[in-house]
Amino acid sequence: MNISRGLKALFLYSAIAAVAGCQSAAPPPVAVPAAFTALGTSAPYLMGDVIGGTKARAAKMRAAKIKPLGAGEAILYMNDLAAELRRQTAGIGLDILPVSGGIVVRIPATFTFDTGSAAIKPTTDATLLEIARTVKARNRTYVDVLAHSDTTGTPEGNRALSEKRAAAVATYLTGHGVGKARTASRGLGESAPLYNPEADESQRAANRRIEIRLVPYRG
């Protein structure tokens, strides 16, 4: 009889726990901004030289004993890198964009930062980790981290915040194996919007973004 009562009590406890579990709210998924689209790939800041200049950056790459790409290798290398990044980030909501012989990985800032913060959110650690793994393995590129803001606030404040965010992402990448010799960062504030003017919050959300530009290292 004692065993029977114990089994009944166990069954009742399990049933209550199951119901409580069903009623618990699951964590909400990360929403992709509706207007986060592949725009602005011909902007001057994406067409120019790597941050700090090719000469200085190439010297660091040589010192790190990274092998440059030959003229015939670069296109195939970058195409393979873009395909791998798309596979690694499929379904996340990022853009992998071909830009002037290189690649831009465009990430909504809502994936990485809270409003007004330059601290990378733990919930988006996995997204950056997938990018870091691929970029680490494919080490024959320069890595430029660019951060942008919307037009809310002052230009000076937006520039300062974007500098901190770009540096935070660059630090994350180098902390997960991407060589420091390859990496540089820059905050552009509100100077390079995808949408100008911003008509609504979805366009402001698209303007708040992180971009990782990968440029082939040709020596």
Kindly list the structural domains of the chain, giving each domain's residue range(s) and its CATH number in brackets, ordered by start.
33-216 (3.30.1330.60)
Report pLDDT for 39.
57
- The one-letter amino acid code at 123 reads T
Question: Is the bond leading into 197 cis (omega within 30 degrees of zero)?
Answer: yes
> Residue 189 is inside which H or E element, if any?
strand 183-189
Residue 101 CB contacts under 8 Å (≥ 6 apart), including other chains: 74, 75, 78, 215, 216
What does the block give as tokens for 201?
């919050």
Report pLDDT for 65.
97
Report pLDDT for 182.
98
Report pLDDT for 206.
82
Angle at 76 between CA 38 and CA 70, to 5 degrees: 120
pLDDT in tens, the chain (219 residues): 443 444 343 333 344 333 334 443 443 444 444 444 445 677 888 889 999 999 999 999 999 999 999 988 999 999 999 999 999 888 887 889 998 889 999 988 777 888 888 998 887 788 899 999 999 999 999 999 999 998 888 999 999 999 999 999 999 999 999 999 999 999 999 999 888 888 888 888 888 899 999 999 996
